[in-house]
Amino acid sequence: MFAHERLNLIKKIVRQHRRLEFAGLQKLVKVSPATLRRDLTELEKAGDIIRVHGGVLDSTYFRAEISFDERLVRNSEAKKAIAVAASLLVPPGASVLIDAGSTCLEAGKILLRRKDVRIITHSVALLEAAFHGEASVLCLGGELRKVSGALTGGAALGALESLHVDIAFLGASGLDPLLGCSTTELSEAEIKKSVLTKASRKVLLTDHSKWRNPSTIRFAEWKDFSDWVTDQIPAALEIKSLRAGGLKIHRA
């Protein structure tokens, strides 16, 4: 592999994982420790990665919030697998309230193919996809947050007041084993909190990168969810209390 190809591969891997220990990155790239250190030095100088003790971070790691387009490509295969697994939880005739996250978008796209469900959402991207779908769709109005593609604010919260749905799919920006689920922005946290009171079954959809990586604003405890669909289940000891509280964990 040529040097420029190796550098591009490292950037791609770090972008997908967001943070990696040095040993883990070395296994993925399959080069000697000395070669990897030289590559990381070059990438750090270019501003493509951030080196920390024992590992490396994506250059966007410390941003308050990454763009929706960036979220769509990050861990995309895991998100698609989670979406498939989540869609199987939806029975015929169900009403499903779908959050505005990138993983929820993938689940929503699958459900749009079904004539036997009704979708309620404040995701602009999902509403755009609905033009080519079969499902019935109800739009929650509100103020557009361009960075996330979500409709938020008083109008969206007001619309939620009169609703009750069978299932809610929600995403999160970060997860903490003890504290629960968090997001980056207050207006979206308020929407998520309201959604949790409007659904009989509350399903969290997140990939492994969110685990032990909490964000700024907590919007839910683990007990607020009935199900969690993810691509990698953490160690048994880490999630023992979650399962004890009745949370059903599904691996995509």
Closest CA to 171 of 224, 212, 229, 128: 229
pLDDT in tens, 92-136: 999 999 999 899 999 999 999 999 999 999 999 999 999 999 999
Same fold, 3-58 and 68-251: no
- Measured CA to CA in angstroms, residue 202 lies from 11, 76, 88, 192, 194 at distances of 36, 23, 14, 11, 12
pLDDT score, position 68: 62
Buried b (16+ CB within 10 A) or exposed e, 94-127: bbbbbbbbbbbbbbbbbbbebeebbbbbbbbbbb
Q: How far is CA 69 from the centre of its chain?
A: 13
CA distance 196 to 185: 17
pTM for the predicted model, two decimal places: 0.73
Tokens 């040529």 appear where? 2
Q: Strand, coil or helix: what is 204?
A: strand
**The pLDDT value given to residue 34:** 93
Report whether CATH 1.10.8 matches the domain 3-58.
no
Residues of the chain with pLDDT under 50: none
Predicted pLDDT at 39: 93
CATH class held by domain 68-251: alpha beta
Beta-sheet pairing, 165-170 with 95-98: parallel
Tokens found for residue 173: 């920006």
Ranges of each domain in the chain: 3-58, 68-251
Contact status, residue 203 vs residue 228, Cβ threshold 8 Å: yes
Q: What DSSP designation does 52 have?
A: E
**% of the chain surpassing 70 pLDDT:** 94
* Angle subtended at Cα 175 by Cα 16 and Cα 249, rounded to the nearest 5 degrees: 95
Predicted pLDDT of residue 46: 84
Name residue 61's amino acid: Y
Residues in the chain: 252
Q: Which residues pair with 167 in a beta bridge?
A: 96, 201
Q: Where are the beta strands (DSSP E) in 157-198?
A: 165-170, 174-176, 180-183
Predicted pLDDT at 57: 83
* pLDDT score at 69: 60
